Each structure stands twice: as structure tokens, then as C-alpha cells.
Structure 1
Amino acid sequence: MASVLGDDIDILAKAKRALAADYTPSEDEEYMSDKQLNYFRVVLLEWKKSILTAAENTLQNLQDGPIREADLNDRASSETDWGIELRTRDRQRKLIGKIDSALRRIDADEYGWCDKTGEPIGINRLIARPIATMTVEAQSAHERREKISRDD
């Protein structure tokens, strides 16, 4: 599971590096200015493009042919690897939905504001997680409520 999260972080980091030479948002600027919104739009679009490219590569590898290892242990290992790969792609498919939602919020001038409190999410949090919809405090409270209701 850690490597799946690592893959998402690597893809996002590559998208940010591609833009870092041009501009990086800071706390000193007007919050959610046109320049900041454009930065996050480009980061989200690059992130989505990278995910779709990785998915195309997986699909191509699946179409290239079935697993044909003669040894049962090798075959089981290969099938396990494919299972992990497919779960990763399914997780990233869901991530694309969150990216699309963030892009819609940018278009509606709602991006960067907490869904629960209406307060600014914060530039540093959005740089770290561009699909964030809540402040750290609201997210923590949400997770605590979720944990309590699961324990019941």
C-alpha cells in the first residue's frame, strides 16, 4: 500500500517540478489569485495526464499477452504483481474523479476554501495535496467522527 501512495506522490512531484521553474504560490500573495488558480489548474491537469499515461501503459501490457510462466510459483508471483498493479490503477481512477472535482471548483471560484468551514485551506496544504477540500482541522475532525462511527 505504501508504494501505491508513493506512486501518486511521485507523479504529483513530477508535475510540480515541471512548473516550479515558472512560478510557485506563496503565502505573501493574495489568496487564490488568478495566478495561483492557474498554477493549481496546471498542476492538476499534469497530474491527471500522468495518471492516464500510466493507465495506458498498464492496459498495453495487459493486452500484450497472458502470463505464461511455467513454474507455478513464478506464475503466482506474476499474478500477484498484476493484482497490485490493477488495484493501483483503480485507486488512481478514483483519484482522477477528485482531480476533476478540484478543476470544477477552480472554474466555479470555490477552490481553496474549506467545504465545511468556508475558511481558506491554505497554500501549503494545497501545494502538498491539490485535491484537498478541507482545512487540516476540519479534516482531522471529520476523520475522528468517522473513526467513532466505525467503532460503534
Structure 2
Amino acid sequence: MKAEVFLPEDYQPAEDEPFMNDRQLEYFRRKLIAWKDDILEGNKDTIEGLQDNTRNIPDVADRASEETDRALELRTRDRERKLVNKIDSALRRIEEGEFGYCDKTGEPISLKRLNARPIATMTLEAQERHERREKVHRDS
């Protein structure tokens, strides 16, 4: 088991410290866990709300509107479920010592990118190349 890492409340990963040192890894681990907890709490609220709102609405337009809202909420929750899987994958990469490095090139992913999108698996350049290739295949 790893020793606990002290992390000041105002800590922000910096370019002038060793890349993916224990403090940076702990910072991203906490960030990912907090994000996951927020999503799971929202899912719990949605499920409770859907259970509470299973009432019979006589007006057809009101019922249609509520069903549309419910379908949108369920689609949102499905996207978030997929996001939780990506968060779990990022947490696994932290444990395995692979977090912060591009899947395609092995280069470090910028701290700025990881801070904005801690589930990123590619550098910005590799991601752009990947998206261009996808677009070419989609358009042909």
C-alpha cells in the first residue's frame, strides 16, 4: 500500500515539478473521485425523481412534455454512465502508473489538458490527428 500524500488545499500541478509525481497523481485521483461522486449523486437524484413522477397526467400535451423531459434525462444519465467508466479507467491508469501519458505516442499529456479533461488518453496533437482520420473515414 502506498503512503498517503500530503496535498495542500490550494495545490495546482505545475510545469516546473517532475511530471506525474506523487502530488500530481494524488491531485488527479482526488479530482476524478470528486467528479465521479458528483455524477453518481446526480444519478441517485434522477432515479428518485423518476420514481416520484410516475403519476398519471390526463392532459396529452403535458404527458408528452413530461415523457420528453424523462427521455432527455435518461439519455443524459446514459452519457454520464459512460463517463463514469472513463473515470474508472483513468483511476486504474493512476494505479498502474500510466496516467498522464498518451496512449498513441507515449508522450506526456499537458497538465493544462489533464486539468481540463482528466480522462484524456491522448495529447492534444494525437487527439486532433485521430479526429481528422475519423472525419476522413466518415466522409468517404
TM-score, normalization by structure 1:
0.84
Match of 2:65 among 74, 77, 97: 77
Which residue of 2 is the match for residue 26 of structure 1? Answer: 14
**1:67, 1:79 within 8 Å by CA — same for their partners in 2?**
no
Deviates more, 1:57-66 or 1:125-134: 57-66
Q: What is the CA–CA distance in structure 1 between the aligned matches of 2:56 and 2:95, rounded to whole Å?
A: 48
Is the Cα contact below 8 Å between 1:119 and 1:135 reproduced in 2? yes
Paired position in structure 2 for 1:92: 80
Q: Distance in 2 between matches of 1:150 and 1:67?
A: 44
Alignment partner for residue 103 of structure 2, among 99, 115, 121?
115
Listed as ranges, the gaps of 5+ residues in structure 2 are 1-6
d(CA) in 1 for partners of 2:95, 2:12: 20
Q: Which amino acid aligns with 1:122?
A: S
Q: Percent identity?
A: 60
In structure 1, how many angstroms separate the alpha carbons of the residues matched to 2:39 and 2:8? 20
| Structure whose alpha-carbon radius of gyration is higher | 2
Conserved in 2, the CA contact under 8 Å of 1:44 and 1:99?
yes
Contact 1:102–1:111 (CA<8 Å) still a contact in 2?
yes
Runs of 4+ in 1 over 6 A off after TM superposition: none
Matched position secondary structure for 2:83? helix
How far residue 49 of structure 1 moved from its aligned partner, in angstroms, is 0.6
**1:116, 1:138 within 8 Å by CA — same for their partners in 2?**
yes
Counterpart among 118, 136, 139 of residue 130 in structure 1: 118
SS of residue in 2 equivalent to 1:66: coil
Q: CA deviation at 1:50?
A: 0.7
Q: Are the counterparts in 2 of residues 67 and 78 from structure 1 also a CA contact under 8 Å?
A: no
CA offsets 1:13-63 (integer angstroms, 9 cap, x no match): xxxxxx994311111211101000000000000111110010011111112
Q: With structure 2 as the length reference, what TM-score do the two structures score? A: 0.91
Q: Which amino acid is the alignment partner of residue 138 of structure 2?
A: R
